[in-house]
Amino acid sequence: MSKEWPLWEVFIRSQHGLAHKHVGSLHAPDAEMAINNARDVYTRRNEGVSIWVVKAADIVASSPADKDALFEPSNSKVYRHPTFFPMPEDVKNL
């Protein structure tokens, strides 16, 4: 009975200055093959300058069921937005 290869999540930085973005997943026996396979699967059209692969088992995610409670603190703090503070027209650069 063969062992199934671990699952890796793939993140690609498409050009310098941008952050790595999650693009999908793949199976590979080790990190080196994961990077090479990610290159073949996710960057055939020059879409990458950098690849991160992370074992799916190492990713910790917030639970969808907790979404409302987890993000509640930001719902009622509209004063965090600049638009909450109208400025007089005559005042520049604020």
Residues at the contact surface with other proteins, assessed by CB under 8 A:
2-5, 7, 23-27, 29-30, 33, 40-42, 44-45, 61, 63-65
Task: Output Rg (C-alpha) for the chain, integer angstroms.
Answer: 21
The C-alpha torsion from 48 through 50 and 56 to 58, rounded to 10°, is -160
Q: Please say which residue, 61 or 78, places its beta carbon nearer to other proteins.
A: 61
Shortest Cβ distance from residue 86 to other proteins (Å)? 33
CB of 10 closer than 8 Å to CB of 24: yes
Shortest Cβ distance from residue 11 to other proteins (Å)? 14
Shortest Cβ distance from residue 7 to other proteins (Å)? 7
Token readout for 90 is 């005559």
Q: Please say which residue, 68 or 90, places its beta carbon nearer to other proteins.
A: 68
Q: Which residue has the tokens 């990713």?
A: 59
Rounded Cα distance between 9 and 41, Å, is 12
Q: Please say which residue, 7 or 54, places its beta carbon nearer to other proteins.
A: 7
